[in-house]
Every structure is written in structure tokens, then in C-alpha cells.
Amino acid sequence: MRTLFSSCCLLLLSLTTVPVQADFDVIAGWDRQLFPSFIIGTSSIKTDKPDDETRLGESDGLLGIVIEAPGAETPIEVSIECDGFLEPSRFSGSLSEEGTTYFVYPKVKYKFDRLSQCTQATPATMTYRVTVGEITQEKSVTVTFRSINDCPLCFQDGDTLINTNFIFASYVNEQHPFIDKLLREALDIGLVDAFAGYQAGTEEDVLRQVYALWDLLVERDVRYSSVTTTAADSSEIGSQHVRLLEETINNQQANCVDGSVLFVSMLRKIDIEASLVLVPGHCYVTFFLDKEQTKQIGLETTFIGADMETNAKIGKNLDNAVPEEFRGEQSWASFVNALGIGTKGLEDNREAFSNPAENQYRIIDIAKARRAGVLPIPHRSQELFVSFDHSMDTDDAMAESSEEDEEDISEEEDSEEE
């Protein structure tokens, strides 16, 4: 009888389902930091699904878990929540092979409006819930959402350094509402009657339009101001503070990146192809003089507002592009020097730009970035455009031109009398 009872107990135990339990580790951005600029900028990039069968869910996710499958074809559900920055995000699937380590990334539903308005490094609690079989486990971690002004340059992934400085392209915003207002002010100065990009005709026409924008920023007293450090820091992530366009325009301050993304935004708005040029510790602009993109020159944007003499060579195209009466006392000299220094920098570093191993030497082609899906950071600020009245500049230029015409007429009359 006792033997029969023992056998029945063993049979019951064998038929009882033992709950499957598997621990997991969280993946929370890079070094538990998340960059709104990167999330927004890459949100429309379509990436191919990796061949790695151990990566489940979103192929390029920043938030997920690492877990070892406790059995074959084990069902799993993963949810991630973070009040304020994202909607509850979930993944359902299965872990195919017992003993295999899987990386599971739910499709994260970010609140992009909130991300674009994150102007200071902000801590937030992120909650991960994982159900494996019938067992649910939960973990909470504190992450830091960086300021929208913080641009990630690179991060350390194990032994590999991943370059992310292409996100500078997200700070270029050719559709920013302030850009149209700047173009209107440039037209009011009177050097150009319209901004038509390459449709204007010649290389001289292109240079005249570029100088009109440069002269505008000088007239608005935009000055070089080096602000690159960020409030948050990490030994695994390199980053730089970048002013948004409305901050540069209204505060009249710009470091090399700030001035460059603003100028490229204006050039692209008027259909002149322009790119950002990155060299170690510095950024400037390059653009094409022709629609066919055969003639490329550089522009050193830190010279905006600088007091200097015209000591660079003035080419024939440039000399013909801008009438002397429209050459601003301060803007013309700085523009000529900016073209000279910028173009020389392009030529000196051509080899480095084409070398993939030279990570700090890059020409960020904005048109190519847009085609790849890199989006501009949308304008969400409540800040109003600070306008300038340039009518006096226009009146002075017209008066000077009129005086020269009168002198020419007087000389012609004197010549006829003689």
C-alpha cells in the first residue's frame, strides 16, 4: 500500500507544471542616457533587419532587455513605461532555443513633443515588466534624458567606438519659420531682389546671394560665442551643446556649429546645396557654386561679425558678384577671408575626408542625410522672432549709389564741355 501511495505522489509531481522563471538585465540607452536629438533625428530612418536571430523586436532600439531562454519556444512579453517621455511600449513573441541569450527591444512609442521641449538634462524612472511563461518580473531604473541641445558625437559599445556626429544634420532646419523672416530682412537690405538659388543664373549670382545672407547676420550683430559643454556627462559618450536656430538668431551668439547649422539652413532654403564640414574640434560650411555640383568652396562661419582687413585674394567671380556700394565695411572683409580660409581647409583635408578611418574628418551632406531619413529637430519654442529694421542700411546704400551716379554724370558733362 505504501509503495502504491509513493508511486501516485511521484506521478502527480510529474504532471504538475513548474512555473518557468528567468532573470533579465535592462538595456537603457547609452550609459543609461537618452538623447532627444538622436531619437528625433533617426525616427524616420529605415534600417534593415539584422540577420542575428537573437535580436527580437525593433532592430535599432535603444530600450530593451537581455534574457536567457529557460526553454524552447518559451513565450515572452516585455513592456516598458516611463511617464512623460513615452507611451507604454510592448513586445510579444517567443524565445526559440533553450539556453540562448536574446536581446528583446519593444517598439518604443516616444512622445516626440516632450522630447523636443526637453531643454535641460532630466532624470526619469523607466519601468520594465517581463513575463516569461506565467511568471512576471519587474525592474525600475533611473535614466537621464539629455537636453535637446546635446548632440551625441560618439559612444563606446564594448571595444567599438560608434560615430554619431551625423546627428548635427538634425540641427539644420531649412523649414524653420524664422528662416523666412531672415530672408525677408536680407531682401530689405537691397543687395538682391530675390533668392532663386541656382536658377538665378551664374556663379556670381550664387555668390551674391550667399554674401547677402552673410551681410544680414553681420548687420544683426551675430557674434562668435564658444559654448560647447553639456550639463550632463559620461565617460562612454562624447557630446556637444548646439544652440537651436531660434536661440542663435535671437541671442545673436554662435559657436562654430551654431553658425554653421544656421547658415546651411538658410542656403538650403534658397536651394543652394550646402553641407557641414567637421574637422577635429571645429565645424564650418561648404557649398556648391553650380547646380551640377562641380565647383565647391568653403566658408568659415566663425568669422561672422569679426573685425578684419581684406587680406585674402578676391577672385574675379567674387569681385563681379557684389557692387562696391553694397560691400559692408565689416561684412565684406570677413566674408572674403571666410571664403579663403574655408576653401583652403577643404583642399588641405580632401584626403582625410575620403578616408573612413578618419572619424573626426567628415563632410555631412545634408541632402543625403535627408534622403536617408535624418529629420530636422522641429521648432517647438514659444520664443518670438526678434526682427531688425534694415531700412537705414538700404537708404544709405541707395544714397551712396545715387551720389556716385551724380558724380559720373558730372564728369561726363565736364568732358563734353571740354
Other CB atoms within 10 A of residue 285 CB: 24
Other CB atoms within 10 A of residue 9 CB: 10
Give the residue range(s) of CATH 2.60.40 domains in the chain.
20-148
Which pLDDT score, from 0 to 100, does residue 133 have? Answer: 86
Residue 67: closest CA among 98, 88, 90, 29: 98
Q: What is the pTM (predicted TM-score) of this model?
A: 0.87
285: Cβ contacts below 8 Å, ≥ 6 apart: 260, 263, 264, 267, 274, 275, 276, 277, 298, 299, 300, 301, 342
Which pLDDT score, from 0 to 100, does residue 401 have? Answer: 46
Which pLDDT score, from 0 to 100, does residue 409 have? Answer: 45
Q: N- to C-terminal Cα distance for the chain?
A: 145
Which tens digit of pLDDT belongs to each residue from 370-403? Answer: 999 999 999 988 889 999 987 665 555 445 544 5
264 vs 221: CA distance, rounded Å: 18
Question: For the chain, how long is the longest CA-to-CA vector?
Answer: 145
Which pLDDT score, from 0 to 100, does residue 416 have? Answer: 52
pLDDT digit string (tens) for the chain, length 418 residues: 444 444 444 433 343 444 556 799 999 999 999 999 999 999 999 777 667 889 999 988 999 999 999 999 999 999 999 999 999 999 999 999 999 999 999 999 999 999 999 999 999 999 999 999 889 999 999 999 999 999 999 998 888 889 999 999 999 999 999 999 999 999 999 999 999 999 988 999 999 999 999 999 999 999 988 866 776 778 899 999 999 999 999 999 999 999 999 999 999 999 999 999 999 999 999 999 999 999 999 999 999 989 888 766 778 889 999 999 999 988 999 999 999 999 999 999 999 999 988 989 999 999 999 999 999 999 988 889 999 987 665 555 445 544 554 555 455 555 555 4
Which pLDDT score, from 0 to 100, does residue 8 have? Answer: 44
Q: Does domain 20-148 have CATH number 2.60.40?
A: yes
Report the DSSP pairing between strands 296-299 and 122-132: unpaired
Report the DSSP pairing between strands 135-145 and 33-34: parallel
